[in-house]
Amino acid sequence: MKHLNKKVYKAAVIGIGRIGMKHESDPKRLKPATHFGMWNSSPCVELSAVCDPVSEHLQIANSLNPDVKTYTDAEELLKGVKPDIVSIATWKDTHYEMMKLCSKYEVPAIVCEKPIAESVEHAREIVDELNERGIHLFINHRRRFDELLYPLREDLKNGIIGEVIQANCLYVYGLITTGTHVIDTLRFLLKDIAGEVKWVVGNRNTFPHFSPPDDPCVDGLIGFENGLKVALQSLNIKDYDLFDFYFYGRKGKVVIKNIGRDIEIYQIRESPEHEGFTELADKPVGIRGGYPRDQFSFLAKNVVESLQGKANSLSTGEDSLKALDILIAMQESVAQGSRVVKV
């Protein structure tokens, strides 16, 4: 990857809808809450320009930062500003196109919302192209920028609950929209101990029809290289958010709950009621979190340090490509009547 040492890096955001900018107005969200907020508040970075087809969004951007240049055409922004960093927060069907455009103008670092593309072929093409050109790529699978998941990954590798023998995951609102975070988090936490995902089975959740028509909720089973099986379950509802994980080992379990905010570690104990039997303790031996983590600042730091040659992307194109491959395999399984599909 190419390195670029500057006192101040110029950043631009293409697409300033909800995750691009509008969530900054949510008083309950930890700030920064968007790509706009991330670069507008990041040390060593100047938010130079934004691009969006909606004039109201551009007016809001200028109210938040009067010095930011506004564009309605992404190519005009890239030619006029020549940014060092571009965040792509557009609709998912434009991610490939926008990354190709950034590649054309040799933007040194690209931060793109998930999914990386709508097809594995396009994802493979853009990852190879950016690698060949030395362009840094960061896909916003946000759990990779959660500071508490790194020590948890090490704990699982070191056997805090013994050999992991099963896991269950729950999510809402679409396999591609939210399920991609589940798949990427599973690979992040389990790859070192379970290997890669080798096969999947998918079954569409048809009740009560809340997920978007083009992104249905899918339940399924995910098979890892070492034989570990993970159950994926969706709640096709809009009544509340859900993003929970349960990892079961021979010596205990780990629970990630409350949309990822809380991590609890349980170990086994002798049964108080039956001689010679053991059971999971009713109280955790370890509790972590309980608060939202500043994932956007973590991401911004990773981008800047990668440009400086001090770090590598924590959420690579290759990882996102693998997640997309798994998601599409699950969709294929659904189309084939829930048959096993190899990944």
Place of tokens 């829930």: 338
| Maximal C-alpha separation, the chain | 75
H/E run at residue 244: strand 243-249
- 3-state SS class at 60: helix
> For residue 258, what pLDDT is reported?
94
Q: What is the 3-state secondary structure (H, E, C) of 89-146?
A: CCCHHHHHHHHHHHHHCCCCEEEECCCCCCCHHHHHHHHHHHHHHCCEEEECCHHHHC
The residue extents of the domains of the chain are: 9-143, 148-292+325-335
pTM of the complete model: 0.96
- Tell me the two tokens of residue 118: 């709508």
Distance of alpha carbon 207 from alpha carbon 315, whole angstroms: 33
Amino acid present at 48: S
Backbone angles phi and psi of 116, in degrees to 5: -60, -35
Cis status, amide bond into 208, omega within 30 of 0: yes
Residue-wise pLDDT for 57-66, tens only, equals: 999 999 999 9
Angle ∠(175,119,237) on CA atoms, nearest 5? 15
Taking the C-alpha atoms of residue 317 and residue 313, their distance in angstroms, rounded to an integer, is 9
Q: Which of 65, 99, 84, 67 is nearest to 12 (CA)?
A: 84
- Both tokens of 52, joined, read 């969006």
Q: Let me know if domain 148-292+325-335 sits in CATH 3.30.360.10.
A: yes
Q: What is the model's pLDDT at position 213?
A: 78
Average confidence (pLDDT) over 270-292: 93
At 276, the amino acid letter reads: G
- Domain 9-143 fold: Rossmann fold (3.40.50)
Task: Count CB-CB contacts under 10 A for residue 22.
Answer: 15
Length of the chain: 343
Residue 247 has pLDDT above 90, yes or no: yes
pLDDT of residue 32: 98
Q: Is the pLDDT of residue 29 over 70?
A: yes
197 torsion bin: left (phi>0), alpha (psi -120 to 50), beta (else): beta
pLDDT of residue 208: 65
Percent of the chain at pLDDT above 90?
93
How high does pLDDT run on average in the chain?
Answer: 96
With bands split at pLDDT 50, 70 and 90, how would you rate the model's confidence at 2?
Answer: confident
Give pLDDT tens digits for 292-342: 899 999 999 999 999 999 999 999 999 999 999 999 999 999 999 999 999
Gyration radius from the chain CA atoms: 21
